[in-house]
Amino acid sequence: MAFEFTDTNFQEVAIDQQGLSVVDFWAEWCGPCRLVSPIIEELSKEYDGKAVIGKVNVDVNPEISMKYGIRSIPTILFIKNGEVVDKHVGTTTKQALMGKIDHHLDN
């Protein structure tokens, strides 16, 4: 299951840790988010131990969304060693996300 980022654990898990975190900003009412959600779930299993891949419900965790200027969902942030290194807004494919994850894991 994908990691659940929250306002209280985001700093510790996504920012303070070394390595790559992939954070999907979503909401239950968002149709395109429902298309991306199963992809995030699959990737969290496939990259277990290599990257923290999870989700932030923007309705429940508004602080993170405001801090990172999330205005459209789904938005996926790629955070490496505490810095946002990439961003994707809108729906996407599993292959596209895997390409970005692999790129950031290798560099």
Encode pLDDT of 18-39 as tens digits: 999 999 999 999 999 999 999 9
Measure Cα distances from 28 to 14, 21, 68 in Å: 22, 22, 20
CATH of the domain at 58: 3.40.30.10
Written as one letter, the residue type at 55 is K
> What pLDDT score does 1 carry?
83
Q: Which helix (H) or strand (E) holds 88?
A: strand 83-89
Per-residue confidence band for 66, with pLDDT thresholds at 50, 70 and 90: very high
% of the chain beyond a pLDDT of 90: 98
Total structural domains within the chain? 1
Contact 5, 61 (CB under 8 A): yes
* Full-model pTM: 0.95
| Residues involved in catalysis | 30, 33
Domain extent, residue 73, equals 3-106
Tell me the per-residue pLDDT of 85-99, one tens digit each, with 9 for 90 and over. 999 999 999 999 999
> What pLDDT score does 48 carry?
96
* Total residues found in the chain within this entry: 107
